[in-house]
Structure 1
Amino acid sequence: MAEGTEQEDKTEEPTQRRLDQAVERGEVATSTEINTFAILGAFTLALLIAGPGIARTLLTDMRGFLTNAHAVPDDAHAMAGIAGRSLWIWLQALAVPAGLVAAAGLAAGLLQHPLVFTTETLGPKFERISPMAGVKRIFGIEALFQFGKGLAKLTVVGVVVATVLWRDRDRLEVFARLDPAACLPAILGISLKLLGGVLAIHLTITMADALYQRYRWRQRLRMSKEEMKREMKESDGNPEVKGRMKQIRMQRVKKRMMAAVPTATVIVTNPTHYAVALRYEPGMGAPVCVAKGVDSLALRIREMARAHDVPVLENPPLARALHATVEIDAEVPAEHYRAVAEVIGFVMRLRRRAA
């Protein structure tokens, strides 16, 4: 009851930090259906590509053994040698399909989440030996879902297999009277049809299970309001988080500045190290700084200004002074009114002449 109440209190979506911590602990959203689908698909592909060759190899080996059965020595040493050679032939024939299936299973796991090395899952946990926890695992929502999913898979796959085999029932009756070499291509074709039908059905099951496992994973990591507040406090005190937030703020400021450069009246430069963009319109109390920067940022401001026909004037003392004293979206200080008025007046006269 207490656990259910605690889960009901967790009404907030998990933060990215909580999700990252869960992955570091090895608690990830994993769908076994994805692995099963990948392995089954790899096996079908291997059977489609290498099936005829494998069948010919094994048929040749078996036919040679049966044809020369009378010449097989009956001592243990010779029999061991024959068994070893036969085993090697079978291993060579099945090596490629087995390798493809193993690679598909590994790729399916890496597709869902990267490799995680942690020892936390090896530690002792009370709920693993608790009888009540065991009962909840057996009769809980997750167990009921897995039971229903398994029953649905069994039913659907059974229907597909029965449908395919029923259509080929006449051919199956003939197989008992045919030579094995003549049966193999037909058996291979029927097997591929069976696997294709099962894969088509299993694809839908896999997608549904993957979405459900992702949903359940986020549900388990939901947070209460108290946990949200505590994590906010911890995040605010984290130097890395502060640095990241500062970096994001600076990026936003730079983006906003570059968007405001085309609206500037004039760009005052050093000419290479500093650039300050000023905007003035009739009726304003004083010019406003809409952008400023040094070195590479100053170069970007000058390039943006030239691209939008904003005048760029060189005045090193004024550029350095404005960069040091005026903030973005702030008016020019009174001590720089005279110098800024001369620059803006010069730009205004140029505009009148051009007009």
Structure 2
Amino acid sequence: MADRSQKTEKPTQRKLKEARREGQVARSPEVGAWLGLLLAVFLVRLTMGKTTSAARNAFHEVAGIIEKPDIGQSLHLLGSAMGAAAVAAAPLCLGAMVVGLGASVAQGGLRISLKALGARWRNLNPLTGLKRMFGPRGAWEAAKALGKTGLLALVLFDTVRSLVPLTTSAQVLPLAAVTHVAGEAIFRFARDAALIGLGLAALDYAYQLRRYRSSLRMTKQEVKEELRTTEGDPRIKSAIRSRQMALRRRRMIREVAKADVVVVNPTHIAVALRYTAGSGAPRVVAKGAGSIAGRIREEAMRHRVPIVEDVPLARTLYRVCDLGQEIPRELFVAVARVLAFVFTLKRKGTVGGLHRPRPTPPSELAGVRRGRRRTRRRPVLLR
């Protein structure tokens, strides 16, 4: 296992997905618990009036049944009491369930992992338990428990202190007033306790998230191996790309035999053009620089394709035209002049070899831009 200090890289998307699939997510169970308590406090406050009224009516009916016992009325009272209890408890139960599910989804989604439910023998190892107890995780749990106890004690002390005046005047106040004041104090204590617990739960979630991300960090070697697994070995991919490039070059060189003319510069650049009457503008069937240009010239000599030396035109064609693309409109006149020269050579029977007609004036090529692609673009083959 790699040393933790060597794990300096962030986890990849694949590792994060695998961790979620195994049930490993950053989660604090206290978030849902304290949210449920806070919701329960407010729901109890909202339903307290109806619950108290139902209980008061039930006590009155009980008193009447005690004076005149009746089995039918007793069963009716029992059913009414159970219904009232269910109505009072339903919002609390449903609210707690919804809040719990919402907290789970917000923290990492609702996922069921059979692997996470299975037994992990390392968790039964006493040494592992001791490491958790006396390690950073144990220290955090202890600090969280102490902070929770201290803050709740302060809230409880403030609540009890607010009830001290009530104890001195409880004998002269009506029972309803005493219960109202005591109920308000209990509500404030429960509300403040839930808010404090929720704040601590948020801190605990931040800690769990940091610990979760730290546990999934990877070494540079692990990242390389995973990329090799998912995307393939870079050396193999490079070899495949080189082979594909070589195949495209060979196909391009074979197209030179079908060209009408090869415009050169005179040794560094070569562009082969083919013109088919009625099919649009002349098209670039091969282009290259350096050694590729040399191979294009050799193929043209082998198949007696005329080679025309026109330095400005060759440079412009190489710069603005892609492989398989028709020449732009701005070059129609210059290329038409070259093709007319080539057709004259064909009539004279002196097509093959290198020819040096009058070069295209640079002023005709000024401002020529790339033409619009009319066919699928192929890679430009350079040196």
**Where on the TM-score scale, by shorter chain, does this alignment land: which range?**
0.5 to 0.7
Q: Does 1:6 align with 2:11?
A: no
- Specify the alignment match of 1:71 in structure 2: 67
Structure 1 residue aligned with 2:315: none
Match for residue 81 of structure 2? 86
Q: Deviations 1:282-311 (Å, cap 9, x if unpaired)?
A: xxx9xxxxxxxxxxxxxxxxxxxxxxxxxx
Counterpart CA distance in 1 for 2:4 and 2:87 is 54
Aligned to 1:189: 184
Larger Cα-atom Rg: 2
Q: How does 1:224-235 map to 2 (within 5 A)?
A: 224-235=219-230
SS at match of 1:12: coil
**In 2, Cα distance between the equivalents of 1:196 and 1:151?**
20
For structure 1, which runs of at least 5 residues remain unmatched after alignment?
Answer: 243-284, 286-314, 350-355
Query: Quick check: 2:170–2:178 contact (8 Å CA) kept in 1?
Result: yes
Q: 1:226 to 1:74 in 2, by over 3 A?
A: farther
Confirm or deny: 8 A CA contact 2:35 2:194 kept in the other structure. Answer: no
Opposite residue 224 of structure 1, the aligned amino acid is T
Q: Is the 8 A contact 1:54 1:93 kept in 2?
A: yes
Q: Which residue, out of 201, 208, 218, partners 1:206?
A: 201
Return the match for 2:151 from 152, 156, 160: 156
How far apart are residue 173 of structure 1 and its match? 5.3
1:11 alignment partner, SS class = coil
Separation in 2, partners of 1:232, 1:126: 31
Deviations 1:10-34 (A, max 9, x none): 2322222211211111100001231
The equivalent of 2:37 in structure 1 is 40
CA positional deviation for 1:216: 0.5
Q: Determine which structure has the larger helix proportion and give its number.
A: 1
SS in 1 for 2:3: helix
Q: Structure 2 counterpart of 1:11, which letter?
A: T
Q: Which residue of 1 aligns with 2:321?
A: 332
Range that drifts further, 339-348 or 152-161: 339-348
CA distance in structure 1 between the aligned counterparts of 2:149 and 2:193, rounded to whole angstroms: 11
The DSSP-based 3-state class of the residue aligned with 1:61 is helix
Separation in 2 of the partners of 1:186 and 1:104?
29
In 2: Cα distance, 1:122 partner to 1:166 partner: 47
The 8 Å contact of residues 52 and 185 in structure 1, kept in 2 or not, is answered as no
1:71 maps to a residue whose letter is: E
Partners of 1:330 and 1:153 in 2: CA distance: 72
Question: RMSD across aligned C-alpha pairs, in angstroms?
Answer: 4.0
Once the two structures are TM-superposed, the CA of residue 90 in structure 1 deviates from its matched residue by 1.7
TM-aligned CA distance change 1:140 to 1:339, over 3 Å: same
| Alignment TM-score, normalising by the size of structure 1 | 0.62
Rounded to whole Å, the distance in 2 between the matches of 1:232 and 1:144 is 37
CA distance in 2, matches of 1:69, 1:155: 50
Contact 1:54-1:94 at 8 Å conserved across structures? no
- What is the count of residue pairs matched by the alignment? 268
Contact 2:61-2:77 within 8 A present in 1 as well? no
**Equivalent position amino acid for 1:187 in 2:** A
Q: Which has the higher contact order (CA 8 A, sep 6+)?
A: 1
Superposed, which structure 2 residues align to 1:274-353 within 5 Å? Answer: 317-318=280-281, 321=283, 331-332=320-321, 339-342=329-332
Verify the 8 A CA contact 2:7 2:220 in the aligned structure 1: yes
In the alignment, the residues of structure 1 paired with residue 59 and residue 286 of structure 2 have an alpha-carbon distance, to the nearest angstrom, of: 92
Letter in 1 for 2:64: N
Letter in 1 for 2:320: E
Single out whichever of 167-176 and 215-224 deviates more from structure 2. Answer: 167-176
Give, as a single letter, the amino acid of the residue that structure 2 aligns with 1:332.
Answer: C
2-structure distance, mates of 1:174, 1:43? 31
Identity of aligned residues (%): 21
Q: Residues 12 and 64 from structure 1, CA distance in 2 versus in 1: closer, same or farther, beyond 3 angstroms?
A: same
Q: CA deviation at 1:166?
A: 0.7
Structure 2 matches for 1:49-60, cutoff 5 A?
49-60=46-57
CA distance in 1, matches of 2:151, 2:87: 35
User: C-alpha offsets along residues 208-250 of structure 1, whole Å, 9 cap, x if unaligned?
Assistant: 2121111010011111222122111112139xxx9xxxxxxxx
Whether the 8 Å contact between 1:55 and 1:184 is mirrored in structure 2 is no
- AA partner of residue 68 (structure 1): G
Q: 1:137 aligns with which of 125, 129, 132?
A: 132
For residues 179-229 of structure 1, the C-alpha deviation after alignment (integer angstroms, 9 at most, x for no partner) is: 654444333322332233224423432322121111010011111222122
SS of 1:13's equivalent?
coil
Partner of 1:126: 121
Structure 2 residue runs of 5 or longer lacking an equivalent are 238-268, 270-277, 288-317, 335-363, 369-383
Distance 1:173 1:39 in 2: 35
Partner of 1:255: none
Q: 1:111 aligns with which of 98, 106, 112?
A: 106
